[in-house]
Amino acid sequence: MRNILIFVILALPFGNPALAEGTDSQKTHFESANNYTVKIRSRVEYPFLKDERGSFLGAGFLINKALGWVATNAHVSASNPSVVEVAFKGEKFSEAKLVYVDHLLDLAV
């Protein structure tokens, strides 16, 4: 067992360069994920519950295009932000509305 572990540890740095670069399929998946990923910034002026005053940056992803819903972490959006803005890759920030926040799950929509 010990010999196998030593072999694995020694072999890891050499690996397979083709696997490290990724396949065209993987690259396609990551490129398409960019279409659903957003930047989120929020500002809290009057903190409520577990919120802190200040500006926060984070990321999220589109969960319902028809409704325009984006999921992110609750600690990014805060419970009662003064402003929440969302931007897709290469786009300007647009104001957003907070629909749901769950601090236990650290989830915001």
Please say whether the beta carbons of 76 and 41 come within 8 A.
Answer: no
CATH of 35-109, one of 2.40.50.140, 3.40.50.980, 3.60.15.10, 2.40.10.10: 2.40.10.10
Please tell me the predicted confidence (pLDDT) of residue 18. Answer: 53
Give CA–CA dist 53/9, Å, rounded: 47
Report DSSP state, residue 20.
H
Q: Domain residue spans in the chain?
A: 35-109
Please tell me the predicted confidence (pLDDT) of residue 88. Answer: 92
Give CA–CA dist 47/50, Å, rounded: 8
CA 48, distance to chain mean position in Å, is 24
Please tell me the predicted confidence (pLDDT) of residue 7. Answer: 46
Bridge partners (DSSP) listed for residue 58: 40
Bridge partners (DSSP) listed for residue 83: 43
Please say whether the beta carbons of 39 and 85 come within 8 A.
Answer: no
Token pair recorded at residue 109: 């929509």
Please tell me the predicted confidence (pLDDT) of residue 40. Answer: 92
10 Å Cβ neighbour count for 79? 16
pLDDT values of the chain reduced to their tens digit, one per residue, 109 residues: 554 444 444 455 555 555 555 677 777 877 777 888 999 998 888 777 666 788 888 999 999 989 999 999 888 887 777 788 999 989 999 999 989 988 889 889 9
Please say whether the beta carbons of 97 and 108 come within 8 A.
Answer: no
Bridge partners (DSSP) listed for residue 71: 61
